[in-house]
Structure 1
Amino acid sequence: MKRQFVKVCPVPSEQQPINEYEELKTSWFFCLATSGSRLFLRNIIIIWSIGWLLSSPLAAASFPPDQSLLPFIVSSDIGAGVLLVLFLLQLISGWYHIKGRLKKKTIFYEESGWYDGQTWIKPPEMIIRDHLIMSHQVNPIVNRLTNTISILTFVMFSHIIVWIYF
């Protein structure tokens, strides 16, 4: 359901922050961040596993598992982590974009192309609605993704330390 302020808002429907939020929330890629904790964790594990399957042949070429098991595992994990970081960065960039659009008191929009952009000041009720959506819907998603990236960064650095010292 697309919401819009028809009589008040000159911004095209698809460029209104609330409709961009609804579209992002239902998109097949970005909705992965809105899923429950178990489903989110399952998706993270699946993406990491795919990354591991892609990076392990490369790691095996450099470090044969039968001769260098620890370097093989660590390099495969780092390769899988890189894919997962790219995936999470794409998710968080989309959600940060929506957060920024909801947070602003103005809406920049394009009327017919990139060359004729306009700025419209949101009315107070729209500002309040957008801030509520941002704080209660978008911020928890951004926090979840930020925490996930932080944990992944810690794991990746621990793998690098293992790589250096062992």
Structure 2
Amino acid sequence: MSQSLCPVPADQRPINEYRDLKASWFFEWSSWPRPRFQRRLLLLWGMAWFVSGPVAIASFSLKEAPFHTFLAAALGANVLLLLILLRLVLGWAYVGDRLQRPTVVYEETGWYDGQEWQKPEPELAQDRLIYTYELRPILQRLQVTLLALVIFSLGLALGWALL
């Protein structure tokens, strides 16, 4: 966005919000190539087991109900991973929405003085291209992953109910 014509503070401009999100340590890995992204998900799921596993073992007798213990730990790990994925989806979706909108809502000095700025056509076209070719594939991957994890969690819950 043009520095001289755009009244929106630099940190509230959608293109800069996108760049900041893409460069942040938490959000950047969702834009990595698929195998690396999947390894990160497995690592996070494994780390979540360090929390959910001991809780499941303390909640159920490992000797008397090993399947319940395993399913409880897996569901606990899934919940933690679901929360992480949900945060990623919401963060990317927020910035994606701001990139696609023809106007930018911003605050000049605080929460009480909201303003709205109409993007010029070239800037709107640029923002929408960034959304279409860079951000939307990330968002779609995250949504599919989130859906797969929800289905997996439902399968674990069904397994629990059938035991």
Normalising TM by the smaller chain, what interval?
over 0.9
d(CA) in 1 for partners of 2:66, 2:25? 37
Amino acid at match of 1:131: R
Structure 1 stretches of 4+ moved >4 Å: none
Corresponding position: 1:153 with 2:150: yes
Partner of 1:54: 51
Task: Tell me the distance in 1 between the aligned counterparts of 2:114 and 2:55.
Answer: 47
Unpaired segments of 5 or more residues in structure 2? Answer: none
> Which residue of structure 2 lines up, in the alignment, with residue 33 of structure 1?
30
Aligned residue pairs: how many? 163
Q: 1:86 aligns with which of 79, 83, 86?
A: 83
Match of 1:21 in 2: 18
Percent identical pairs in the alignment equals 38
Q: Higher relative CO (CA 8 A, sep ≥ 6), structure 1 or 2?
A: 2
Deviation at 1:101, TM superposition (A): 0.3
* Alignment partner, residue 115 of structure 2: 118
State the TM-score, normalizing by the size of structure 2.
0.97
Q: CA deviation at 1:68?
A: 1.3
- Give the counterpart of 1:96 among 61, 76, 93: 93
List alignment gaps of at least 5 residues for structure 1: none
Superposition RMSD on alpha carbons, in Å?
Answer: 0.8
Letter in 2 for 1:11: V
Q: Secondary structure at the match of 1:72?
A: helix
Mapped to 2, the partners of 1:111 and 1:53 lie a distance apart of 45
Q: CA deviation at 1:64?
A: 2.1
